[in-house]
Amino acid sequence: MLAAPPNARIQASVPSYSIYPFYNRVTELDYFTEKFSGEVGFVTVLVGPRNCGKSRLLEELLRQYEQQNIGPLFLKVDARFTPVRSPDEVSKALVSKLDSGKIERIRKSIGRNRFISLLTSLKIKVKLSSSLPFFKSDLEAELAKELKEDEGKLEPTINKFDKILEALQPLPRKPVIVIDEANDLMDWKEPNPLQPELKQLLAFLIGISKQKRLMHVILATSDYFLANWLTQVGMTEDKFRVEVLGDLTEEEAEKFMYGDGVCGRVACWGSALQAVVAGPVGAIIQGFEPEVYIAKGGEAPLWTDVQWRMVLERITTSPQHAVLASELKEELGKGSEKKGSEILLSMVKYNLLALRPPSTLARDLPQEVYGSGKKKTTVVTLPLPAHVWAAEVVLEDLKDKEKDKDSGPQL
């Protein structure tokens, strides 16, 4: 079972090096710590709004995993600093993250004899008959050298990683790989338009997780379109599960805003509020002008300003500001679910809306918003509570302008 609600543990959970005392992801920390102690399963697509604490949660998981010696290997690739938009970039990212410290950890986890067997499986010649001792560091250097030889080539790199993971398979705790900002994969480029190497990468991630259960795989993103993109490029929905990190609960938001999160560092509350809502207001307004967007992924926006207004009105007037996706598809498509789905996904693709499948991690939405009875389904929200506030302001302004126009000049 997961730990109790985090409020009682917030202060105690904050790392000593933290600049800010506010940290609200304790339950999620416990969830993934427990997950990493168990059996490997689906690829996890971890979605959450910008600045919701995803990256900090992942850093804390890495810190705990290594300091508490939870398992043999934790690789974290942050696409903001380590690009993953092409086969050679992914290969280089994997090799660079498997540094000497992690190789040493692998050797210690499986022991010298099995480590030598791993080297042999990679066709690395180990000169054990030499009169001089073959030091442990030499063994580790041989593996690092072997990985470096094919750095920049995706297929041999993932083949070698596969052998490393197979060597770790007998261990009770499995390794972990996290790709933070995994939405960068959606900008993938390779010479062949059929993208065989992208398919190979996805097959590798599926193979080491759901198929062979060798490694926990986490794809973290703030782009709610990533899950849909994965299904388009070959990772079917039965291979991954979406987990959503919701925004702050009301109690946490109050602590964050009035404590050290925002107002504790900003002298003027008005300035703090403007800083928070400036971006969302701009995004809501821009949604009324789909023609000004630069085509994303080769596809221009599919919605109209009238449809955007309808969606905003539905969300801002709905309980918890969440609407069943099925209802919006029907309204947008005027009876054609296919057309409605295309329009809705276009809004998600351009980061105007968030698709929120049921998730045990999302504490900002009650379970009843996902539908009545046992069957729960995806809902649609705006990306952040600040977007809801912005939408209400923009809609009110539109109504005022329409009212003034209808009243006309008084003679």
Q: In this predicted model, what pLDDT tens digit does every residue of 212-250 receive, in sequence order?
A: 999 999 999 999 999 999 999 999 999 999 999 876 555
pLDDT-derived band at 372 (thresholds 50, 70, 90) equals confident
Percent of the chain topping pLDDT 90: 62
pLDDT of residue 298: 79
pLDDT of residue 152: 95
- Judged by phi (left if over 0) then psi (alpha if -120 to 50, else beta), residue 234 lies in left
Q: Which residues of 231-241 are buried (b: 16+ CB within 10 A; e: fewer)?
A: eeeebeeebbb
- Strands annotated E in 107-258: 176-180, 216-221, 240-244
CA angle 148, 150, 154 (to 5 degrees): 120
pLDDT of residue 273: 52
Closest by CA position to 57, among listed 94, 38, 84, 30: 30
Token pair, residue 304, equals 């109209």
Q: Mean of the pLDDT values across residues 265-269?
A: 48
Q: What is the Cα–Cα distance from 267 to 271, expressed in whole angstroms? A: 8
Structural domains in the chain, sorted by start: 6-244 (3.40.50.300), 259-402 (1.10.10)
Closest by CA position to 201, among listed 190, 193, 97: 190
199-213, 282-296, 352-366, range with greatest mean pLDDT: 199-213
Q: Mean of the pLDDT values across residues 381-403?
A: 92
Q: H-type helices in 111-135, by residue range?
A: 112-121
Q: What pTM does this model have?
A: 0.84
Contacts with 107 (C-beta within 8 Å, 6 or more apart), sequence order: 115, 136, 139, 140
Token pair, residue 264, equals 């504790």
Q: Which residue has the higher pLDDT, 93 or 252?
A: 93
pLDDT of residue 129: 44
pLDDT-derived band at 404 (thresholds 50, 70, 90) equals confident
Token pair, residue 369, equals 């918003």
pLDDT of residue 23: 53
Residue 47 amino acid letter: V
Query: Is the per-residue pLDDT at 202 higher than 90?
Result: yes
pLDDT-derived band at 125 (thresholds 50, 70, 90) equals confident
Question: What's the pLDDT tens digit per position in 275-298?
Answer: 556 678 999 999 999 998 888 877
Number of helices (H), then strands (E), in the chain: 16, 8
